[in-house]
Amino acid sequence: MENIHPAGTDTRTAPVPAAAPGPAGRIQAALLVAGSCMPVLGAVLLAPVLPTLNQAFADTPGVALLVPLTLTLPALFVALFSPLAGWVADRVGRKQLLVGAMLAYAVFGTAPLWLQTLGSIALSRVGVGIAEAAIITCCTTLITDYYAGEQRNKYLGLQTMVSALAATAFFALGGALGSISWRTPFWLYAASAVIVIPMIFKLWEPDRTQRTTAARTPVPWRQIGAPAAVTLFGGIVFYALIVHLPYVITGLGVADAALIGIAAAIASLATAAGAISFRFLAKLGTRNLLALAFGLAAVGLFVVSIAGTVPLAIGGAVVASAGTGILLPTLLTWAVTGLDLQQRGRGTGIWTATLFIGQFLTPIVIGAASAGLGSLGVALGALGIACAVALLAVLARGPRMAPVVP
């Protein structure tokens, strides 16, 4: 174990790479967590202006397809390119790739401020997705490089918590800026060019001497395959209510956008609470945490599926979101625990890819289930049943790992 000294003393502190100026602290964590919010920015910022984009490019052939793609293309390309980003991070270096990706994110993200056709805007979103793949892979890998034990648990939970809160803030900010012009929200992508400046001076490359063997060190698929497979399903569970809760609230007769936004914000706060609790619950171990997360998701989704009132639907969403807030850092920690430094980039990239494949598939899976089963409520109930099955599978055959303290 990397946090055990040769004498056997458990230090529970971050290992200090040879090239590091000192142990990583709050500044490094803050920068990496802030960088992790960039893919969240790309995912939700434009949602409020999609109707305006439809109007602005109403004469463009295929507008009904191209406008939704501006929102979903980044997630698809994060899924496709995260494994490659992980390979580059292991072979070339985390910091170099992160700095380059943050700058590319600013360039591609702000490009629609000047682009004149919907096709070119959609193409720029491909660049955003590729940059996001490198950003989230490098930020997560550096957290696992810089920190160990309780510190790692703390910052992985914080990463999920801040991302959940950022999603709520970015959605509201996107709507406010979108009221000025559909182009205005794209200015926020320039934030990465600001954040990258302290990254250049405050982050460092972990132990370069071990990276030379990265290309020859295989990824242990037997170890990472199971958490990656569970993460694919977990990604669908995580994003199900993020995508569909507004439709549930609307189906209960609510047309007030402010109330729908409040419901989404409450669910996001529950996700954040679940994520921050991870550092305190980690001692329960991976199997118990997965069982708890899937159990909460099953109960919450079932309540949402049968809810006849808005308060009951919000209550179910809170329970399910608390479970998914625990789920993500648990899955990530399970995936990266035991990986050598020269494997972590690729391992994290594979995990990230499966999560974002789940995000991309969520509206497709829930939409198809809604059509086949007759309603959105029944589809969410079916997903809740799937979570209950996952709970039983975890208890029967789940990872029998010690407490989640790498």
Task: Answer whether residue 210 is part of any domain.
Answer: yes
Task: Answer whether residue 8 is part of any domain.
Answer: no
Task: Answer whether residue 311 is part of any domain.
Answer: yes
Determine what percent of the chain is predicted with pLDDT higher than 90. Answer: 36
3-state SS class at 4: strand
Hey, what are 387's tokens?
A: 């979570």
Task: Answer whether residue 70 is part of any domain.
Answer: yes
Separation of alpha carbons 322 and 165, rounded Å: 13
pTM score, two decimals? 0.76
pLDDT in tens, 124-169: 999 999 999 999 999 999 998 888 888 888 888 888 788 877 877 7
pLDDT at residue number 18: 39
Separation of alpha carbons 387 and 304, rounded Å: 14
Q: Which amino acid is at 24?
A: A
Average pLDDT rounded to a whole number, residues 101-108: 96
Task: Answer whether residue 18 is part of any domain.
Answer: no
pLDDT in tens, 35-67: 998 888 776 777 667 777 878 888 888 887 787
Q: Is the pLDDT of residue 14 over 50?
A: no
> Based on the structure, what is the number of domains in the chain?
1
CATH code, 185: 1.20.1250.20
* Segments of 228-314 assigned E as strands: none
Task: Answer whether residue 406 is part of any domain.
Answer: no
Task: Answer whether residue 402 is part of any domain.
Answer: no
* Full residue range of the structural domain in which residue 280 is found: 26-397
Task: Answer whether residue 309 is part of any domain.
Answer: yes
> What is the CB neighbour count within 10 angstroms for residue 99?
18
Separation of alpha carbons 269 and 247, rounded Å: 19
pLDDT in tens, 239-292: 888 778 888 888 888 877 667 777 877 888 898 888 888 878 888 888 999 999
Does residue 168 or residue 78 have the better pLDDT? 78
